[in-house]
A and B are shown apart, each in its own frame.
Chain A
Amino acid sequence: MTPYAWTWIAIVAAGLLAWLIKLAGHVVPERVVENPRVHRIAAYVTVALLISLAAVQTFTSDAALVVDARVVAIAVAAILLWRRAPFIVVVAASAAVAAGLRALGWG
């Protein structure tokens, strides 16, 4: 099978799994998921996954650690988030910073 076909299979699988998890929450008896440990683990796994995705997206290229325009861009994003800027502004500003630095010939 081609990589394109595999991507389609992955999309359908991810969609089905996402829906089944959502559905499960509505139909399982409450006591099954009341366990505070399960709840805490789910919450911290979300934090760990999202920050890891941010880190890998920002500091790596083709399995190598790299420092380039993306690092400045995410620093700007962090400052904007700290200043409570809306999500879309944060994303757009970080793209603009990276694009600007590259236009100037760095990173």
Chain B
Amino acid sequence: MISRNSKSFSLSCRVNGSELEREIPSSRSLLDFIREDLGLKGTKEGCGEGECGACMVLVDGLAVNSCLMMAVQLQGKELVTIEGIKGKDGGLHSLQKTFLAEGAVQCGFCTPGLIIASEALLRRKPDATLEDIKLELTGNLCRCTGYEKVLSAVEKARRK
């Protein structure tokens, strides 16, 4: 039985393709771990209670709200943040390109979460329908673009 009977925990995981070992406070949220400990500021804090999707990341390929997870739950798993979403050539990912091309970004605060959620869907279902995309993005709030351009961007990325 592994017990960390102290205020810290020895975390071992993969972050954006690299192995990582770090002593962290047991009470650290995954969101704080990403932003404050790892300095990866692309993941945003919005509502802090799992409703807006701005803090979304991939854990073992599944989209999750990092504000609702503890960092210790990452033990032995793979984390991908928006900084780890790249094209095959190391440049922009196809979703990032279509978001730009469609004008699906306004203030940009929700965009990392939208890209992460869309990426999770397209990995799982490359032929996702518009209905699938709408369902997948119900956990992402955008107060600027009105979603039409976002949906269009994900549809176009699907074809690439």
Tell whether A and B belong to one assembly: no
Which A residues lie at the B interface, using CB under 8 A? none
Chain B contacts to A: CB under 8 angstroms: none
